Amino acid sequence: MTPTVVVITIAIYFSVLLVVSAMASRRADGSAFFTGGRKAPWPVVAFAMAGAAISGVTFISVPGMVMAQGYAYLQMVLGFIVGYVAIAVVLVPLFYRLNLVSIYGYLGQRFGVNSHKTGSWLFFVSKMSGASVRFFVVCAVLQVLVFEPLGVPFVLNVVVTVALIWLYTARGGVKTLIWTDVLKSFCLIFSVVLCIWFTGRHLHLSFGELVQVVKDHPTSQIWHFSDPMSGSYFWKQFIAGVFMAIATNGLDQDMMQRHLACKDSVSSRKNMIISGVMQFFVIALFLMLGTLLMLYCSRTGVEIPAKGDQLFVSVAAHEAMPTVVGVLFVLGLISASYSAAGSALTSLTTTFTLDILNGNGCADQSVCRTRGYVHMAMSACMAVIIIAMYYFSEESAISAVYTLASYTYGPILGLFAFGLMCHRSVRDRWIPVVCILAPVLSWLMKWGLYEIWGYETSFELLIINALFTMVGLGICSRKSKAENISAYA
């Protein structure tokens, strides 16, 4: 697979993406950017969301998970489905009843201005850092494989790519995202299915033999019930999946903005649940591909890479593999990465414009102008962060950014959980303090558990963080005199 082939693949994908974007953004007004005009058909949104949760890093990493964990990740994905049901039953009707454009508007209505700003900033920091890191990883991979051999500097790679992403999301916003996510989901499923087929064909396996080989392979074990201390233990994975889905989908503007584009609560709930089920099968395809890639390595003598993240790209770029497999890898990678970056830019623009800058009225002309400036600023900010990471950061710094993102969702989860479960009002001025202390206490608890008992805290840190937030809110709360607070709880 030559760099020229990769560049042609990227150019063709972007051409199709821009055509889809132009068609989707026709007659788009200000509200279309933020809400899609509340006219998106729920089956379309469901199919779009099946791939929306998969980033470029996920595309690279999930097949390699089988090297260390087998199919244990499906236990967590099963928890995702339960989490999506909880979002559909509890959060979606609430957001529609309150007619929210940004979901963090709920915090302002329930607690006050400081709570609204705090939730918005937590999301902003988490999404900007997380999206930049994920996009940086993909840009770095493409730089080594493609652009460096062609003499294209990394800065130009990032600037041009971010500019193209800004271009296709600048006008249509959420309305455009939904249709480009449909393209992304199709490309992801199409590329993974064909990669499975080509790999099986290269190993001279019929369909029946392929299924049997995957089933009999040691990596295909899904269920882990025997060792409660193991990180792969079913109930740890399953419960973590439930809360991770609620925090990173139901309380994430990036994900919820698509669900809120449906015409009503009933349609949105249908799409939420069905997309969760579809995601289970999409992830299963990625893991099945991982097993076949390992089988390919063992049968052809290709060295299995030390890191799981390198498994997919190592086999796809192998000289014995047909060029089409490499093309499919690039197609899936760029569709996942560029769509996720566009989605992040749109949600960051929405949150910064409506929540942090107090923009009111989606179709208001002044808000539309402000949104345009913010959208450009968010694009520039992301490009600067990615370039800075490439030249100045180390692997430990990138890890720290991921850790930071995991801490920011805990207070958001705690704020929403307290607001929904408790009818007490909270002294709004103390909420920023609580949301800063909760992650600090969570880190101290994580450190103490490891130093004293050798216990390694992982996904449960999110729940601990949320509980500390709820305890802090309880301390700062008082019995409410407002009669309408039950509308938010």
Model pLDDT for residues 73-116, shown as the tens digit of each residue = 889 889 999 999 999 999 999 888 888 878 888 888 888 889 98
Residue 50 CB contacts under 8 Å (≥ 6 apart), including other chains: 185, 189, 275, 278, 279, 282
pLDDT at site 359: 59
pLDDT at site 418: 92
Model confidence band, residue 361 (pLDDT cutoffs 50, 70, 90):
low
Stated pTM of the model: 0.80
Find the range with the poorest average confidence among 208-217, 305-314, 346-355, 373-382.
305-314
Domains of the chain: 3-393 (1.20.1730.10), 408-489 (no CATH)
Q: Report which of 345, 239, 264 is spatially closest to residue 99, judged by C-alpha positions.
A: 264
Strand partners, 425: 478
Model confidence band, residue 57 (pLDDT cutoffs 50, 70, 90):
low
> Distance between alpha carbon 66 and the CA centroid of its chain, in Å?
21
Model confidence band, residue 437 (pLDDT cutoffs 50, 70, 90):
very high
Query: What count of Cα atoms within 13 Å lies in the side-chain half-sphere of residue 184?
Result: 30
Residue 136 CB contacts under 8 Å (≥ 6 apart), including other chains: 385, 386, 389, 390, 398
228: tokens are 């409660």
Over the stretch 245-296, which tens digit does the pLDDT of each residue have? 888 788 888 788 888 888 888 988 988 899 889 888 888 988 898 898 888 8
- CA angle at 186 for the pair 183 and 188, rounded to the nearest 5°: 105
Helices and strands in the chain, H and E counts: 20, 2
How large is the average pLDDT for residues 167-171? Answer: 71
pLDDT at site 471: 94
Strand partners, 222: none
Q: Check residues 160 and 231 and name the one with the higher pLDDT.
A: 160
Which amino acid does the sequence have at 39?
K
* Spatial distance between the Cα atoms of 349 and 428, rounded to a whole number of angstroms: 25
* 54 phi-psi bin (left φ>0, alpha ψ -120 to 50, beta other): beta
Q: How many CB atoms lie within 10 A of CB 10?
A: 20
What mean pLDDT value characterizes the chain?
81
Q: Report which of 272, 277, 276 is spatially closest to residue 96, judged by C-alpha positions.
A: 272
Q: Check residues 22 and 282 and name the one with the higher pLDDT.
A: 282
Helix orientation angle between 265-300 and 42-52, rounded to the nearest 10 degrees? 40
Percent helix, percent strand, percent coil in the chain, to nearest 5: 80, 0, 20
Backbone angles phi, psi at 440, to 5 degrees: -65, -45
How large is the average pLDDT for residues 357-382? Answer: 76
Give how far Cα 389 sits from Cα of 43, 379, 392, 398, Å. 39, 16, 5, 8
Q: Is residue 36's pLDDT more than 80?
A: no
Q: Is residue 32's pLDDT more than 60?
A: no
Over the stretch 414-433, which tens digit does the pLDDT of each residue have? 999 998 888 888 888 999 99
Tell me 305's DSSP state: P
Give first-to-last CA distance, the chain, whole Å: 56
pLDDT at site 87: 93
* Spatial distance between the Cα atoms of 55 and 473, rounded to a whole number of angstroms: 34
pLDDT at site 438: 93
Find the range with the poorest average confidence among 182-191, 223-232, 415-424.
223-232
Over the stretch 124-158, which tens digit does the pLDDT of each residue have? 888 888 788 778 877 877 787 778 888 888 898 88
Residues 106/94, Cβ–Cβ less than 8 Å: yes
How large is the average pLDDT for residues 212-238? Answer: 82
